[in-house]
Amino acid sequence: MKKNKDKRPLVVIALGGNAIKQADEEGTVEEQFANVTETCKQLVEMNHLGYKLIITHGNGPQAGNLLIQQEEGKDRVPPQPLDVVGAMTQGQIGYMFQNSLRDLFLEEERSIPIATVLTQVLVDPNDPDFADPSKPVGPFYTKETALQYKEDKGYQVKKVKPNGEKNWRRVVPSPEPKEIIEADCISSLIDARAIVIASGGGGIPVKEMPNGTYKGLEAVIDKDKAGNVLAQATNADIFLILTDVSNAYINFGKDDQKPLEKITVTESEKYYEEGQFLKGSMGPKITAAIRFVKSGGEKAIITSLDHAVEALQEKTGTIITKE
């Protein structure tokens, strides 16, 4: 991995769904803008500290809700496929971040370029996840409701949280990301001192055709795994994964659960092989963090949104390094 010529460290920040929509909210525009604004306050502070920023984000709730709209309105307007739905959410969420960040910088009388890059991500059309979907999208359901939707609507559903009454969700294919198609464009914007929002929702999954063109696929890529590919492609120094817990845990949800603080790649891999991290939740985050550090990144951090700045200063969070 090449190091950036600009001495300021480059951080790729993978924002979890709670940065945009809280679990107990309906997801109105007002609610989402309020959450994004709070998130952007952390990003502005990171900018003050001298970090270059690339922001990527999930889109599970937004894509799931859009899919519901597509299904319910199919008798009146043609429904759009999942890759197009992903593109729509990239635009929606990118707009919210661009708007909110600009407003916060305006309050400080600062003008900083901010751009959203509609991002395609290359995947393998033969990825096994197309046969056994794993990516949660849309609302949380009780087991009974989820199984009823499976029967009535043909949803594929899985339990995605170990505890709680509503711990089931609809799942869709989530192939492994291979390449960020717009990586050069994103790097050019960073070189121009812009803050970039890219690969939203894991990016638009595409396959390469025999003639070199790309064609969209019905899937949603895991945003943390895609974030790692993005971080590698742009030669980032730090990969910061923000979620709804302050640390990754071993024995999560049990009486003897223990937060992980500073750990090595070797330790992370050991815990992963023990099955300590749930496949649809912390598992992809740990996988992405390991891949980034093994590729030459300085460190990967997993923490909660409200501890983001402290975690960059190594005061909290799960920090994964090579040694």
Give the DSSP H/E element, type plus range, for residue 188.
Answer: helix 183-191
Collect all residues with Cβ–Cβ distance below 8 Å to 212 and sequence separation of at least 6: none
On the 0-12 / 13-18 / 19+ scale of CB atoms within 10 A, 156 is middle
- Other Cβ atoms less than 10 A from the Cβ of 258: the count is 12
Collect all residues with Cβ–Cβ distance below 8 Å to 62 and sequence separation of at least 6: 20, 21, 27, 89, 92, 93, 201
Give the DSSP H/E element, type plus range, for residue 105.
Answer: helix 82-107
Q: Which of 16, 18, 94, 297 is catalytic?
A: 18
Q: End-to-end CA distance of the chain, in Å?
A: 17
Q: Say if CB 193 and CB 131 are below 8 A apart.
A: no
Q: Which of 285, 297, 299, 317 is catalytic?
A: 285
Q: Which of 21, 52, 135, 299 is catalytic?
A: 135
Q: Which of 21, 52, 223, 225 is catalytic?
A: 223
Annotated active-site residue 279? The verdict is no
Annotated active-site residue 18? The verdict is yes
- Other Cβ atoms less than 10 A from the Cβ of 321: the count is 15
Q: Say if CB 168 and CB 146 are below 8 A apart.
A: yes
Residue type, 215: K
Annotated active-site residue 4? The verdict is no
Q: Say if CB 240 and CB 307 are below 8 A apart.
A: no
Per DSSP, 244 falls in state S
Least Cα distance to 276 among 254, 296, 298, 250 occurs for 250
* Residues noted as catalytic: 17-18, 135, 223, 285
